[in-house]
Amino acid sequence: MKRILMATLLIALVMAPIGIASGANKQIQFPSWMWGEAGTGDWFKDGVALYESQNPGVKVAPALVPAGQYEEKLLIDMAGGGAPDLAPVFTNMMPKLMRMGLLEPLDDYLAKAEWKDNLLPVQKVAQYKGKTYGVVLTASPNGLIYNKQLLDKAGVGVPTTPEEMLEAARKVKKATGAFGYGFATRTADVLEAYIPLMQWAIGFGGDFSNDGVPTANDPKTIEGLNFLKRFFDEDLTPKGLDGPMLRKMFVEGKIAMLIDGPWAITYVKEAAPDLYKYVGFAAPPTPTHAAITGGAFYTIPVRAKYKQEAFALLSLYNKPEWQSRWLEDLLQIPGQKAEISPKLAKEHPWIEGMVDVAAKYPAGFGYSAPGFEEYAGEVQRMVVDGIARVWGGRSTVEAAMNDVQQKMVKWAATLKR
């Protein structure tokens, strides 16, 4: 979700609140990067319409903020005098906001919520020092997204191990000329370049840190990145591209496999409906099958003016019928466990795979290194700077990660925690 935001990129930094009645007694300020997204924005707007019809005298003031500017603007507003009432945040923002004391504890509200026990395991990200500061909004996982037509032409099945995936990629390229696997190597886009490194590091049982201790040169991390490098060295992946570019090539039938989120399949459905029925979703074929999960949370700022009203709107979105609609209309994982209807499974066969992966293999929440969630961007930059030398042919994986490890250790020693 965070990366498929073409609509918002065409909008100005902040769009003024829409459709607010001047005579409203209360106005819930509700900024989000999602208001301009097709489907997602409609889901939120329909909820607002129902809420306002049930709560005379209360109006919701939606404000569209582009994703790339959202965190900075929200921090400024929360710390200053312009805090909103209901604020969705990216998962990686939660640790910083909680430690800065900018969020309202929600435990008393949640105690009365009938749906609280149905929230996904990622809900633990919103807990800090025994209190809960957010409610999971969505948590769609990254999985193996594949073009069955290309795999069939190459005479291979859906891979379940790294070795099977490498062999499938080789055979696809030989039989069809398409790239077997696409992953982001355009290091100018740090997050896009970092995510596949997470997928393969965690997928082999490693990571770039462990509870705030740098582990960039852990043998399992290096093993995972070395395996990923084999696709690069054998020209089985396009080079110098980012996620959106790779998704476009997948839609065009030029790439057989991605490890990406369900938004990539939604893109196929919109841009290449004839291909859609041949697209599948499976667990990442790494040893741990780790499914990197971004997602988002609802929060209420500690300086919000209308906290009870904001939680009431949040609660509306968490009713079973609204959670089911998120899954069925948007084809993404909602914040709660949701059942797949027979009709949905028939129309979108891949979605059962996504729900299964989300339940079994969630990992890498918020694209953050464990213990450095508040400093995710700094860690991502150090790791990507290291791998850039590998993709440029100027370093081995081991040498690059040893260098990253040294930099992370020195950097971590300067942090005040």
Alpha helices in 211-350 (DSSP H): 219-233, 243-251, 263-271, 273-276, 307-317, 320-330, 342-347
Domain assignment present for 360: no
Residue 279: is it exposed, middle or buried by C-beta count within 10 angstroms (0-12/13-18/19+)? buried
Q: Would you state the pLDDT for residue 3?
A: 42
Domain assignment present for 354: no
Whether residues 249 and 380 share a domain: the answer is: yes
Whether residues 404 and 262 share a domain: the answer is: yes
Whether residues 23 and 163 share a domain: the answer is: no
| Whether 156 contacts 256, CB under 8 Å | no
- CA proximity to 182, closest of 232, 129, 138: 232
Domain assignment present for 365: no
Domain containing 164 equals 143-292+370-412
Concatenate the DSSP letters of all residues of 353-391 into one string: HHHHHHHH-EESGGG--TT-GGGHHHHHHHHHHHHHHHH
Global confidence as pTM: 0.83
Q: Would you state the pLDDT for residue 42?
A: 93
Q: Would you state the pLDDT for residue 270?
A: 87
* C-alpha span between 141 and 333 (Å, rounded): 8
Domain assignment present for 349: no
Whether residues 132 and 149 share a domain: the answer is: no
Q: Tokens at residue 3, please? A: 């990366």
Total domains, the chain: 2
Q: Would you state the pLDDT for residue 57?
A: 94
Q: Which residues of the chain have pLDDT under 70?
A: 1-24, 417
Q: Would you state the pLDDT for residue 245?
A: 95
| Whether 163 contacts 227, CB under 8 Å | no
Whether residues 268 and 331 share a domain: the answer is: no
Domain assignment present for 13: yes
Amino acid at 103: L
CATH number at residue 268: 3.40.190.10
Whether residues 311 and 401 share a domain: the answer is: no
In tens, the pLDDT along 115-151 reads 999 999 889 999 999 999 999 999 999 999 999 999 9
Whether residues 280 and 157 share a domain: the answer is: yes
Whether residues 134 and 26 share a domain: the answer is: yes
